[in-house]
Amino acid sequence: MGSFLAPPTMGESPVWPRGLSLGLRRETFFSLLLFACAWQIASYFAPPYVIPGWQAIGKSLLHLHMEWIAVTAVRVLFSLLLSFGLGALLAMLMYSSRAFERYLLPLLKMLMAVPVLCWILFAVLWFRGVEFRIAFVLVIICGPIFVIDLLDGMKGVLREWREMLRSLRPSKFQFFQKLILPAILPAVLTSWKVNLSLAVRVVTIAELVGATSGIGYGLVVAQGLFSIADIFAWTLVLVVILLVAQQIITLLEDRLLHWRESA
Amino acid sequence: MIASRQEGDRSSGQFNIRVNQLRKVLRTSHGTEPLVAIDRLTFSVMAGEIACIVGRTGCGKSTFLNILAGLDHPTEGEITIGENTPYNAFDLFKGAVAVIFQQDRLLPWRTARENVELGLEILGISPGQRRETAEEWLTRLELSGFLNAYPGELSGGMRQRVAMARAFALDPQLLLVDEAFGHLDEVTARQLRVDFLKHASRRGTTVVMVTHQLEEAIETAEKIFVFGKPARLLAEIDTPAALSRMSKEELRTFIQETIDSNQPRQL
Ligand SMILES: Nc1ncnc2c1ncn2[C@@H]1O[C@H](COP(=O)(O)OP(=O)(O)OP(=O)(O)O)[C@@H](O)[C@H]1O
Ligand SMILES: [Mg+2]
């Protein structure tokens, strides 16, 4: 679970008292604090349009369109859920049919080789609806990653386990439910982490294509107004969103995969 | 030690196993030559018998057991259990055949109790009854203190006991065992073997057990089948009859020589 955010119970290093910690390790807290101080000191020497101080960023944070955070978060979440649903479906079909896998895999590999910027341009060329464009870009980028990760996970289920389960003569559904799903759960959660950070970074660019709300749009507006502190404030918001989302998945991992502590 | 049959014996003719001219040819990834794993194997096991299969490593014992379990198809010939073939009439044997594998094959995300419940879940047995049966078997196998332990927290011998409980909980008519006690130390293996036989004979279960420990076979089985390499029948031994004529040591020597010569022999 290679996160620098660790739950209070599992860190090897001393942790904050429960309640205060938010799951942060002491080192994490201090390294962030150190960065904040260095930034503040730098802001005294550089002009405010290069490195604005924390008081300027803080002021910006107060007057940002907070509802745009929710708008962007909903876009990311919706697109990821859709990608996951489609990805899981395709992965299951590919797992069940060798032929299907052989036809689909090259196409997926091709999709994954296309740069993000090209997808955004295609979205503008092909579709009119702004929300549709954003969802399209996110799904076309995250979907194939889910497919590949899930398929790898399913194929990695040990032959010994598959034989053991088959010897009990389960239905196809039971085979998935009792073996495949729990066996790939770690891979599923890891895949969600990867795709979350990808989606949060891509959504802002996708929001440049005609959106009139959202963090990406907020960034464009800030740039237009030459309001540097706003740009950094939005960036800060994005980073925090991503870290919080990652932390939620890490906590989920510890809940769902607590058997791994014994292994 | 030969298990004596008690009440609850289900050894009706329905579960006689007949292996007829069985052949299995495997395609290997490394060599171009197909590998003959089983070569014209013919023998029978009567319902309720405890049969042991012995033979050299790599002679096709696990391959045979997989076909008998219905997990694989033969290339030629057939196996019938009663009237049916376990690989074609796959679902017919649901709940009737259980396997204890060479490794324990427990699912690491399930506790000991949940692992034992697995087969019962697949049979659609109610949660309450599942739980009761699982706890009963784990207690019988001296694991009552580890119902909620994960496999990662158990020793090798304990894990093998859980795997045993998982098979017994199904109350199968046919129990297939592949070197289940092979990798354990002698004391643990002996104790497990004793437990195993006690429970198998109590229910009149037909047992087909693979081992390469000849002592284990002689102490356990009513019938011993000596396999050559590739798997074909070299000798069939009725253990009680043989032991009435010779000592355990002599029988052991006979089996060992048969395996080494790789030729069919009469006792
Ligand atoms: N999936 C497979 N594909 C190709 N060859 C295989 C496969 N499984 C087993 N074999 C080969 O078939 C032969 C018989 O293997 P098997 O596992 O049945 O032997 P075994 O008698 O159980 O040996 P051991 O006592 O070591 O467990 C071996 O030579 C092995 O290399
Ligand atoms: Mg084997």
Query: Distance (Å, rounded) from C-alpha B225 to C-alpha B217?
Result: 9
In three-state form (DSSP H/G/I as H, E/B as E, the rest C), the secondary structure along chain B is: CCCCCCCCCCCCHHHCEEEEEEEEEECCCCCCCCEEEEEEEEEEECCCCEEEEECCCCCCHHHHHHHHCCCCCCCEEEEEECCECCCCCHHHHCCCEEEECCCCCCCCCCCHHHHHHHHHHHCCCCHHHHHHHHHHHHHHCCCHHHCCCCHHHCCHHHHHHHHHHHHHHCCCCEEEEECCCCCCCHHHHHHHHHHHHHHHHHCCCEEEEECCCHHHHHHHCCEEEEECCCECEEEEEEHHHHHHHCCHHHHHHHHHHHHHHCCCCCC
The sign of the torsion formed by the CA atoms of B62, B68, B73, B74 equals positive
Which residues, including other chains, have CB under 8 Å from residue B90's CB and lie 6 or more apart? A169, B70
Identify the segments of chain B with pLDDT beneath 50: 1-9, 11
What tens digit of pLDDT does each residue of A24-55 get? 678 888 998 999 999 999 999 988 888 899 99
- Domain coordinates of chain B in residue numbers? 12-96+174-181+205-267
Which one-letter amino acid corresponds to residue A96?
S
A159 touches B: beta carbon within 8 Å: no
Q: Is the pLDDT confidence value at A186 over 90?
A: yes
What tens digit of pLDDT does each residue of B129-166 get? 999 999 999 998 889 999 999 999 999 889 999 999 99
A12 touches B: beta carbon within 8 Å: no
The sign of the torsion formed by the CA atoms of A19, A20, A24, A26 equals negative
Q: Is the pLDDT confidence value at A174 over 90?
A: yes
Which residues, including other chains, have CB under 8 Å from residue A225's CB and lie 6 or more apart? none
DSSP-derived letter for residue A16 is: P
Residue whose tokens read 């495997």: B26
b/e for A49-62, b at 16 or more Cβ within 10 A? eebbbbebbeebbe
Residue B193: per-residue pLDDT: 83
Q: Is the pLDDT confidence value at A72 over 90?
A: yes
Which whole number is the average pLDDT over A229-236? 91
Partners of B94 on chain A (C-beta within 8 Å) are 168-169
B259 touches A: beta carbon within 8 Å: no
Are the beta carbons of B118 and A182 separated by less than 8 Å? no
Residue whose tokens read 């030969």: B2
Residue B11 C-alpha to ligand 2 middle, in angstroms?
27
A262 touches B: beta carbon within 8 Å: yes
Split at pLDDT 50, 70, 90, the class of A66 is confident
What tens digit of pLDDT does each residue of A73-85 get? 999 999 999 999 9
Q: Is the pLDDT confidence value at A18 over 80?
A: no
Residues 229-258 of B with CB under 8 A from A: none
Residue A259: per-residue pLDDT: 86
Contact by Cβ (8 Å): A83, A143? yes
Shortest distance, CA B102 to any CA of chain A (angstroms): 10
What tens digit of pLDDT does each residue of A234-252 get? 999 999 999 889 889 999 9
Residue A2: per-residue pLDDT: 42
The sign of the torsion formed by the CA atoms of B216, B221, B224, B228 equals negative
Contact by Cβ (8 Å): A259, A183? no
Residue B266 C-alpha to ligand 1 middle, in angstroms?
27
Are the beta carbons of A167 and B122 separated by less than 8 Å? no
B173 touches A: beta carbon within 8 Å: no
Residue B30: per-residue pLDDT: 76
**Angle at which helices A215-224 and A228-256 pack, to 10 degrees?**
160
Query: Distance (Å, rounded) from C-alpha B207 to C-alpha B68?
Result: 12
Residue A190: per-residue pLDDT: 94
Domains of chain A: 53-262 (1.10.3720.10)
Which whole number is the average pLDDT over A95-100? 93
Contact by Cβ (8 Å): B206, B239? no
Partners of B70 on chain A (C-beta within 8 Å) are 167, 169
Q: Is the pLDDT confidence value at A20 over 60?
A: no
Residue A23: per-residue pLDDT: 62
Residue A263: per-residue pLDDT: 65
Which of A160, A169, A262 has its CB closest to that of B91?
A169
Residue B6: per-residue pLDDT: 40
Ligand 1-lining residues (CB < 6 angstroms): B 26, 28, 35, 37, 57-63, 212
Which strands, in side-by-side order, build the sheet including B35-45? B35-45, B17-26, B76-81
Q: Is the pLDDT confidence value at A16 over 80?
A: no
Residue A11: per-residue pLDDT: 40
CATH class of B12-96+174-181+205-267: alpha beta
Contact by Cβ (8 Å): B94, A169? yes
Supply A196's token pair.
């979350």
Residue B199: per-residue pLDDT: 83
User: Taking the CA atoms of chain A, what radius of gyration do you get in angstroms?
Assistant: 22
